[in-house]
């Protein structure tokens, strides 16, 4: 067993690691929020282009075409989630996520009701036009969409 008889000194590196760096947590969070907020307009442009991409995906012309079309729709929906998520655009994220769930539940070789993609794209457009203060209307839209998703998932299961 080793016995240390003199006090250990803390190294400069250890002191720097333990110090807050001169910035409080509150200031650091405020700066982070400001940095994210500066990207909001860019993110909304990406959301717009991903919704447009979703609207532009043509319905499959046959069973061989379906996987590629569903992949396109899935990529556009995840693009909406990626762009909208950091900005608390929860309604858009929920709508895109429910589309991803339905595409994920699709059975290979079985027909996919393409109206689902159309309804989700239109719902995202509607949510874009509703002001954030219209919480009741947004909730109603999401509730109705959720009922449709539940029915479709039950049919798929």
Closest by Cα among 120, 114, 108, 138 to 77? 120
Distance linking the first and last C-alpha atoms of the chain: 65
| 13-71 pLDDT, tens digit each | 666 656 666 566 777 788 888 888 889 999 999 999 999 999 999 999 988 899 999 99
All residues at 6 or more sequence positions from 91 whose CB lies less than 8 Å from its CB, including other chains: 127, 138, 141, 142
| 85-115 pLDDT, tens digit each | 998 899 999 999 999 999 998 888 888 999 9
Please compute the mean of the pLDDT values over residues 115-135 and round it to a whole number: 94
| 3-16 pLDDT, tens digit each | 556 666 666 666 66
Grouping H, G, I as helix, E, B as strand and the rest as coil, residue 19 is coil
Give the chain's mean pLDDT: 87
Query: Among the residues of the chain, which ranges form H helices?
Result: 12-18, 25-37, 40-56, 66-84, 90-105, 115-129, 135-156
């Amino acid at each position: 067993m080793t016995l240390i008889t003199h006090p250990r000194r803390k190294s400069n590196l250890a002191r720097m690691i333990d110090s807050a760096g001169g910035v409080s947590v509150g200031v650091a969070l405020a700066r982070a929020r400001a940095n994210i907020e500066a990207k909001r307009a860019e993110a909304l442009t990406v959301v717009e282009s991903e919704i447009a991409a979703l609207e532009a995906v043509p319905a499959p012309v046959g069973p061989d075409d379906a996987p590629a079309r569903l992949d396109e729709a899935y990529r556009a929906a995840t693009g909406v989630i990626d762009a909208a998520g950091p900005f608390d655009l929860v309604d858009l994220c929920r709508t895109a996520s429910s589309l991803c769930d339905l595409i994920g539940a699709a059975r290979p070789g079985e027909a996919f009701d393409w109206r689902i993609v159309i309804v989700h794209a239109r719902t995202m457009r509607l949510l874009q036009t509703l002001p954030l203060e219209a919480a009741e209307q947004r909730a109603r839209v999401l509730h109705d969409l959720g009922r449709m998703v539940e029915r479709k998932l039950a049919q798929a299961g």
